[in-house]
Amino acid sequence: MPKLKTKYVCTECGCESPKWMGKCPECNQWNTFIEEVDTKTVAASSASLINAAKPQKMKDISMEEEMRLSTGLGELDRVLGGGIVKGSLVLVGGDPGIGKSTLLLQLSNNVAKNGLKVLYVSGEESSKQIKIRAQRMNLDSESIYLLSENNMEYIQQNIQDINPDVLIMDSIQTVYNPSILSAPGSVSQVRDATGNLMRIAKGDGITVFIVGHVTKAGAIAGPRVLEHMVDTVLYFEGDSHMSYRILRAVKNRFGSTNELGIFEMADTGLTEVINPSQMLLSGRMKGVSGSAIIASIEGTRPMLVEVQALLSYTNFGVPRRAATGADYNRVVLLMAVLEKRVGLQLQNYDSYVNVVGGIRLNDPSSDLGIIAAIASSYKDKEIDDSAVIIGEVGLAGEVRAVNFIEKRINEAYKLGFTKCIIPYNNFKNLKGSANIKVYGVKSVEEALDIII
């Protein structure tokens, strides 16, 4: 028998090397090369995946409006850009036990009720285990087919026999091709399985959902090419010890990548949170210092979020800085603005900033709210409970304009807030905001005089 040749493949980007290397030359990651058997069977079979096509002029290509199918979950439809697109390939990632399988099982039941066939393939659970979970969630659709299989060749044969409208693969790291000698979950196996599923989705018009495991760093396990091949990448986030879950799109060829959906985990499955602002502010304590309410925009949705800050005097030379839910470097920058432009002496205080509800703030409009919370804790004076704070802060201490100001103000009004502090440039162009008292500020000092 001929001697089997081996190669080393990077688990992050798929870079191949004839010998082991400590650092990948492509993605610059350390200790990511693993040994795999170099086989030519994949290259021989890949030619069958290429469809012969001829170039067309752009003006001759007919445009048809893409047909979207509702998942029955409004929050999921929002994140997908309006619903499921026929023939799309969607990757869903998240920590173990976060609710990925539960979400896709509910999706299967809702889609099957519309008369579509769903094939749910599980490489981790038996069909009886899935049936038990479905009974607990009161799911009883007759158009859902369950298959417990890891062999990709058998899976493809069942797909041809059933010809489903929606295919769910849970999970991609457990599927293997027997013609490839590496173990399931390796770079070669994941790449081959995803390539076959992409051919099925695009060639047969089947919508495919893939469940992907995540690493300790929170990224999708396997090569980066996996995320490049799919149409949509969804991350399911949240603390497994809390009931709320956040679904975020980090890639979407059919919609915005800034949309965010919020669910609550219950005994019967995931339920939608229609008003996330009310949920995030439900446990708020009034009349305490260091608490500020900001209005953030996630995609097209305004959300009111509570930002808390705690400053405590320290006798050590280097004070501690910590931030949860906000960018650490941004918080340190804002504290420097407070010291230089406002005159607050923060160098002897430990500071802790927390965004309540597990939300991660990336919107620059939260700057003024973070500054107000820090200043409130420093002076031990509470902020007006009826005020919402909006504004981006520059290094000169100026308050810069933000986008979607009308949506933010309307959201504050709906939840009963009576005051809103916004940048002056937004204030002078504001229209139709008579329902709530609006203050336009030009600097951080001016804002703090009104807030505290």
380 annotated among ligand-binding-site residues: no
100 annotated among ligand-binding-site residues: yes
- Are 249 and 233 contacting, i.e. CB atoms less than 8 angstroms apart? yes
Q: Is residue 382 classed as helix, strand or coil in its secondary structure?
A: strand
CB-based burial label for 327 (10 Å; 0-12, 13-18, 19+): middle
- Residue in 452, 299, 327 with CA at minimum distance from that of residue 387: 452
Task: Please give the Cα distance from 186 to 164 (Å, whole number).
Answer: 28
Q: Which two tokens stand for residue 80?
A: 């997908």
Contacts of 268 (CB under 8 A, 6+ apart): 136, 137, 138
DSSP 325: S
Cis peptide before 171 (omega within 30 of 0): yes
DSSP helix, strand, coil percent of the chain (3-state; round to 5):
30, 30, 40
Q: Which two tokens stand for residue 179?
A: 């013609």
Instruction: At 89, give phi and psi (nearest 5°).
Output: -120, 115
H or E element at residue 376: helix 367-379
94 annotated among ligand-binding-site residues: yes
97 annotated among ligand-binding-site residues: yes
95 annotated among ligand-binding-site residues: yes
276 annotated among ligand-binding-site residues: no
* Tally of CB atoms within 10 A around 86: 14
- Residue numbers in the known binding site for ATP are 94-101
Please state the residue numbers annotated as binding site.
94-101
